[in-house]
């Protein structure tokens, strides 16, 4: 850390991709304004990239480009990590911390896997680690959990934290596209990566859920603690059924605390059009926080994109630069509560289950018997013929059978669905969606 109170605060940037490039632009174009806010100038001392020849942004001084990130982090007061992934990002940040630099990162995958070690190292070396951009893009959700609500008790957090999946589901709902069409459209418009696996399988949202749970409940929660369901099994039929009931399907990250412990989950769910999250369209994100004293809070905004995410990154940089200018450090991240992880069957929910069945007598009775055997009560039934669907070896028509249950636990529900799926008159894959009030 710089000891000269008048010397520029040295900033190193790792990565000059979409977010890195926009971060560099904000640091360069707002240099004078940021210095006034900090009370001391900042200087971008280096930008580490794999291929300097590929960087052509006019606001980036090419003389700052280097391929030696390991050396760069040792000569900075603040290191911004925007390269993503686990390694070498983790090693670079640990070296920066051990060299006395504070760090700012948007790397949710890294924090969901190694966050506690990084937080501990930062505390041990008297530096800070900030990561507002790791959850929700431009939405300020990390700081409220980390600082604003530190005097309160967070009860649960629920939200849309992945812009790609929200865009896809929104396009399926508003334009009648099937999943593959909506995904291709998202990729064409830059809302989805060439390899969209982390988004559509829910892994990106799960990493954010782990971070949120750790901050909310002060307990070590990692990515492996988060059960995940993505949106790849959501069909146009699911969307149509939801629309017919004045509902929409959203991919949610949900963390809460109960007598059974804490849980962090990611899953697609059916919700009424009256729910505030139902009106979150496109690539926007929204997060609800419920706490004991403050009650309900909602955060809404751009969940992705170079400039919005860079805004959150630079906000963290300015916060840390102020600490350095004042000779102080920010609050540590306390992980003191060893709360148990709640088992899957600890909570109950209503579920909408869709089966494809042969159109013949006795099928519905057999399915109802399977649910009854496991004490799962059925709240509603809907059937319609799908003339475009066929099952090899069966010449009759295929029906879509949709059941909505009363409250039940997920473990038992999935056991019943597996049993029903093995019936001779049931074909294809079943669809399971939670129903939110």
Question: Can you say which residues are annotated as belonging to the binding site for L-homoserine?
Answer: 193
Q: What is the DSSP letter of 75?
A: G
Q: Which residues of 50-72 are buried (b: 16+ CB within 10 A; e: fewer)?
A: eeeeebeeeebeeebbeeebeeb
Residue 374 · residue 307 · CB < 8 Å: no
Q: In Å, what is the CA distance from 230 to each residue of 210, 212, 267?
A: 16, 19, 6
Distance CA 376, CA 369 (A): 10
Output the known binding site. 14-21, 108, 193
Helix (H) or strand (E) holding 115, with range, is helix 108-124
Could you tell me which of 296, 251, 249, 298 has the C-alpha nearest to residue 273?
A: 249
Output the known binding site for NADP(+). 14-21
Output the known binding site for NADPH. 108
Total H helices, total E strands in the chain: 14, 16
373 is catalytic: no
Helix (H) or strand (E) holding 154, with range, is strand 154-160
**Per-residue tokens: 411:** 């473990």
Residue 15 · residue 69 · CB < 8 Å: no
Distance CA 397, CA 111 (A): 50
Q: Which of 95, 113, 208, 247 is catalytic?
A: 208
Q: Which residues are catalytic?
A: 208
């Amino acid at each position: 850390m710089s000891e000269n109170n008048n010397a520029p605060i040295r900033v190193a940037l790792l990565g000059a991709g979409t977010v890195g490039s926009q971060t560099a632009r904000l640091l360069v174009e707002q240099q004078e304004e940021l210095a006034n806010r900090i009370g001391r100038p900042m200087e971008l001392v280096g930008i580490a990239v794999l291929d300097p020849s590929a960087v052509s942004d006019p606001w980036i001084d090419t003389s700052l480009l280097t391929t030696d990130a390991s050396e760069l982090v040792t000569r900075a007061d603040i290191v911004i990590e925007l390269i993503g992934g686990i390694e070498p990002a983790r090693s670079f940040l640990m070296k920066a911390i051990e060299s006395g630099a504070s760090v700012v990162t948007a790397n949710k995958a890294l924090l969901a896997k190694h966050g506690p070690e990084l937080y501990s190292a930062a505390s041990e070396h008297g530096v800070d680690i900030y990561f507002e951009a790791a959850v929700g893009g431009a939405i300020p959700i990390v700081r409220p959990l980390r600082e604003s609500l530190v005097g309160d008790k967070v009860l649960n957090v629920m939200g849309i934290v992945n812009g790609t999946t929200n865009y896809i589901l929104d396009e399926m709902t508003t334009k009648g596209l099937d999943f593959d069409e909506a995904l291709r459209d998202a990729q064409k418009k830059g809302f989805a990566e060439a390899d969209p696996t982390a988004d559509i399988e829910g892994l990106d949202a799960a990493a954010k859920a782990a971070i949120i749970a750790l901050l909310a409940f002060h307990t070590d929660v990692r990515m492996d603690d988060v059960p995940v369901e993505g949106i790849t099994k959501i069909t146009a039929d699911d969307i149509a059924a939801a629309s017919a009931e004045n509902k929409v399907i959203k991919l949610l990250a949900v963390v809460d605390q109960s007598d059974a412990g804490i849980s962090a989950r990611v899953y697609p769910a059916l919700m009424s059009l009256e729910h505030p999250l139902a009106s979150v369209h496109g690539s926007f994100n929204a997060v609800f926080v419920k706490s004991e004293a403050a009650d309900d809070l909602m955060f809404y905004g751009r969940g992705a994109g170079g400039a919005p995410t860079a805004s959150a990154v630079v906000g963290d940089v300015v916060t840390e630069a102020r600490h350095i200018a004042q000779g102080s450090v920010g609050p540590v991240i306390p992980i003191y509560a060893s709360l148990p992880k709640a088992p899957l069957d600890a909570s109950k929910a209503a579920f909408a289950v869709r089966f494809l069945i042969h159109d013949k007598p006795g099928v519905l009775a057999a399915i109802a018997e399977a649910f009854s055997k496991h004490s799962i009560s059925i709240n509603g039934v809907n059937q319609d013929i799908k003339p475009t669907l066929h099952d090899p070896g069966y010449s009759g028509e295929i029906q879509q059978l949709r059941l909505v249950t009363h409250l039940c636990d997920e473990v038992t529900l999935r056991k019943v669905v597996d049993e029903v799926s093995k019936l001779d008159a049931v074909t294809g894959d079943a669809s399971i969606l939670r129903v939110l009030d």
